[in-house]
Chain A
């Protein structure tokens, strides 16, 4: 039957059978995962110990709880860093094509920097970069 379907593919490349291999692969992937998980579950020995239930931290015994309140400033600085990082990334292609883009490109980049500057002023005035209260 498969051979029949494959013939349909070769004869008629525009039909939906064209996607048959994709579908077969999908089925194979699901079946493979199911088989592997099922077989290991059935065949593998299962020993339950207390050590297995504890967190694995590079072989070192874990100390304390990781869920501690942390100053939100770290997050703020990190996200602002990402923001300015992206700005720099946009500058690279412009710097490479600086000559060929001419005045029009210069104005566009100036506008971009201007909008960014507004955001920067806002950040500073809001005190987001002030580390100590």
Chain B
């Protein structure tokens, strides 16, 4: 391995080192605050390292990794999400758990797994990344083990994720049997020109099960609502953003390498999945009274929208998907940020009744939640609108009319339940609320500031998306 290749891996090494640093800090009995600050610094170092190695990209580290602009973009979205999740975690865990420190080890390991997925070009690195991500998530989901739903949701995720890992492995084995290779590019070259055999199709079907499970796409979405509800709110935010970004990145890279979208049949399969996700996700969310479950169903629908950008398999598709994921990450992070802040010691703020008349009690929080819900619904002047718009544009450019029409129609359905929450926010009759002094004034301030910044970002991305798109384009040139 040359020096430059080693250097290109620097951000990932810093990320891996972060969990070691946290382990040693716990061993030295440092406080939660110190670990939180150190964790945040390590994330800053990761970002700095990414900026530092930008000029030497792209680097290919045979046979496992490729670090290019594509990977840098997706890793950037992951690191950004984890930074916000980490900031939100402090107050949440400080108030609840006597032992909140191991949470950060698991969080960093899960981040490392998701980041490894974005740079993998080989089945081995894909599987290792996915397992690092999932094994950390099992523990993260059940972290508050005294809660009612925590163990249940952790166990559900464990069993289903282990089962789909088996599917993934068998799919990989079948690919290997058909092509004699585990590298994405080599598989693509072997398949080029010839009609894919029955083994390839079977292997792909098995892999779609595993990937569909991780992305919570429709036939494999049943875990989403229960896990979102049972997991601690910051962990739910992590599942909704970082883990899905990583898995989507590897799906995109794999499909580009083997020219998945060239096959009419596979295109139909993926459009079917996208259409089913959009319709079912939105319909299931309609009558939902629990906001965490509602966001789970809405995330199923949103991943369906994202698959529409995945369908063309071109540069425009990648651009649209990166922008969509970025906008979606900001939006869902601010929504879960509000859930985190409003949660009480015993229970997460998941019932809609908690939000009744929130605007009259805490105008800032209500405004952030309203803006993020507008963005999820795709109202103009928010990031969500523009993200949906460019996804529509890419779909329309490639004559994918059916998914595009379904996207528009289901967005209208989605509007209903987002607006229902917003109207609750502004409803009268504010519930009498026991005021308690914030335990950590500084961190409360930081969390509020973060949420405010996220809200501003949603608006700025919705009004001036140009610079962001241009930045994404420039990064994608690095290949």
Contact = CB atoms under 8 A, between A and B. Distances in A.
Counting chain B residues whose Cβ lies within 8 A of the other chain, the interface size class is: under 10
Contacts of A118: 20, 23-24, 27
A131 to B, nearest CB: 19
A16 B198 CA distance: 6
Contacts of B29: 125
23 contacts: A14-B197, A16-B198, A19-B198, A115-B20, A118-B20, A118-B23, A118-B24, A118-B27, A119-B23, A121-B23, A121-B24, A121-B27, A122-B23, A122-B24, A122-B26, A122-B27, A124-B27, A125-B26, A125-B27, A125-B28, A125-B29, A126-B26, A126-B27
List of 8 A-B pairs having minimum Cβ-Cβ separation, nearest first: A125-B27, A16-B198, A122-B27, A122-B23, A121-B27, A118-B20, A118-B23, A118-B24
A19 B197 CA distance: 12
Interface of B: 20, 23-24, 26-29, 197-198
A14 B197 CA distance: 8
Name B's interface SS.
Answer: helix
A14 B23 CA distance: 54
Interface string A113-133: 001001101101110000000
Interface size class of A (residues with CB under 8 A): 10 to 19
B474 to A, nearest CB: 35
Given A118-B24, A118-B27, 12 more contacts: A14-B197, A19-B198, A118-B20, A118-B23, A121-B23, A122-B23, A122-B26, A122-B27, A125-B27, A125-B29, A126-B26, A126-B27
Contacts of B20: 115, 118
A14 B198 CA distance: 10
Nearest to B28: A125
Contacts of A19: 198
A5 to B, nearest CB: 15
A121 B27 CA distance: 7
A13 to B, nearest CB: 11
A128 to B, nearest CB: 11
Contacts of A16: 198
